[in-house]
Structure 1
Amino acid sequence: MASTTNRRSSFSINAALRNFNSTLEPEVQQHLKQVYTCLTMSTLAAAAGAYVHLFTNILSGNFLTSFVAIGFLLTLFATPDESLGLGPLLDTVIRINPAIISTAFLSTAVLFTCFSLCALLSPRGQYLFLGAPLLSMFSLLSILFLANIFIGSVLVFQAYLYLGFAVMCGFVLYDTQLIIEKRRIGDKDFVWHSVDLFIDFVNIFRYLLIILAQKEDNQSKKRKN
């Protein structure tokens, strides 16, 4: 039974790899390697930078650090979502339960990987139709957020939270296939492409942090009552 299961698993992996090689041209595959390498390095650099900033005095107030920060801000200047700064949110989550951060990060990594593979192994352009609906939903999210400032409704906030999470997952599918199509028409800027995916990753992580922290806080209040 175990050998049969192993053969089926091996067959599925081999079939997926054959589908990947047959649907994506060599130059596109090479471009994707560069994109995901850059994405990985950016994530590691962000984590290292956060550690240096929070726990050491190395490069504190250094001109080089300031110059790099300005360059990074300019890179993200065109990003419509200004909530990439997670410091205050992380501080709040740590007060509730520090374990939420690792759980949210691992969950984000698994979700991001699954949606990325789904986009990479799907037929060409299958998820590009999501562009217009996702942008429309993103606009709706902005309206919900602004409206809830005045309404203060828990129900509206929950709708904003879970709808936003779903939209960000959809953007992983859309952006991944959009990057493939951009490369096919000659766009080789893998750095900008990795920034798109990095923003998707961070936003999924942010929504998961809030969802998990909210659940933990509610459970804590129930236990106290």
Structure 2
Amino acid sequence: MDAFTSQFDSRNRWNYDTLKNFRQISPVVQNHLKQVYFSLCCAVIAAAVGAYFHVLWNIGGFLTTVGCVGSMIWLLSTSPHEEQKRVSLLMLSSLFEGASIGPLIDMAIQIDPSLIFSALVATSLVFACFSGAALVAKRREYLYLGGLVSSGLSVLLWLHFASSIFGGSIALFKFELYFGLLVFAGYIIVDTQEIVEKAHFGDLDYVKHALTLFTDLAAIFVRILIIMMKNSGERTEKKKKRRD
């Protein structure tokens, strides 16, 4: 909230010039952010193609997950000077990620095809709001959240590990779902500000930065889609009970 209210002038009116300033973000960093977000859009399109391939040929699963992780590791271990290769690896990892999410999307299509579009719109709004808040806020203002979201992620990992061994309840599943959504929304803010700070210090690796934001975006999309599918299923069950 402070990130937006700080943009008002002494009369509490929106100052558009201040918004365009992006809190003293230099033109070099602004151009870098344009490259990052453009690459991110291309990665999302590649993921959509991967999901479509799964719907057509049922290719999503363990192998595509391994391929996604492997291509990400390959990308991160490749020299930044090999720009075309790294962009290709980003698109490949996004394609594999989309195929890995494909079974969930296929399930959503069977329940209600409109859920996919709704989840995509909701994910875009969440990303735009939180990433925009990080850009408009003062530099390094939200970097302190890095420790909190990292702790939240470790809690999620331990809960998932415990539930896989001892079994989980519906209440625990709901907690993991909504808490995970909150954690990755926080990661969008932290990662966006980290990208800005790294760019100010000369790290203009837009491919790696786009990959970072893509992983956040994919995690949020999956959780929002599951929530919508769950709510849709509950509404359907209630309608059936009323008819009976």
TM-score scaled by structure 2? 0.74
SS of aligned partner of 2:138: coil
Query: Unaligned regions of 5+ residues in structure 2, if any?
Result: 1-12, 60-65, 75-95
Instruction: Give the alignment of 1:93-172 within 5 angstroms.
Output: 93-149=108-164, 150-172=166-188
Amino acid at match of 2:196: I
**Match for residue 43 of structure 2?**
42
Number of aligned residue pairs: 199
Shift of residue 148 of structure 1?
2.2
Runs of 4+ in 1 over 6 A off after TM superposition: none
**Match for residue 14 of structure 1?**
16
Identity, % of aligned pairs?
A: 38
Question: Deviation string for 1:32-71 (max 9, x for gaps)?
Answer: 1111111111212332344356448xxx9xxxxxxxx96x
Shift of residue 25 of structure 1?
1.0
Question: Deviation string for 1:119-147 (max 9, x for gaps)?
Answer: 00000101111111111110100111122
Question: Deviation string for 1:132-166 (max 9, x for gaps)?
Answer: 11111101001111222323211111111100000
Shift of residue 189 of structure 1?
0.7
The change in CA–CA distance for 1:183 and 1:166 in structure 2 (over 3 A counts) is same
Work out which structure has the larger RCO, using CA pairs closer than 8 Å and 6 or more positions apart in sequence: 1
Amino acid at match of 2:188: V
Whole-angstrom CA distance in 2 between matches of 1:195 and 1:105: 18
8 Å Cα contact 2:123/2:224 also seen in 1? yes
**Match for residue 91 of structure 1?**
106
TM-score scaled by structure 1? 0.80
CA RMSD of aligned residues (A): 2.5
Instruction: Give the alignment of 1:75-86 within 5 angstroms.
Output: 75-77=71-73, 84=97, 85-86=100-101
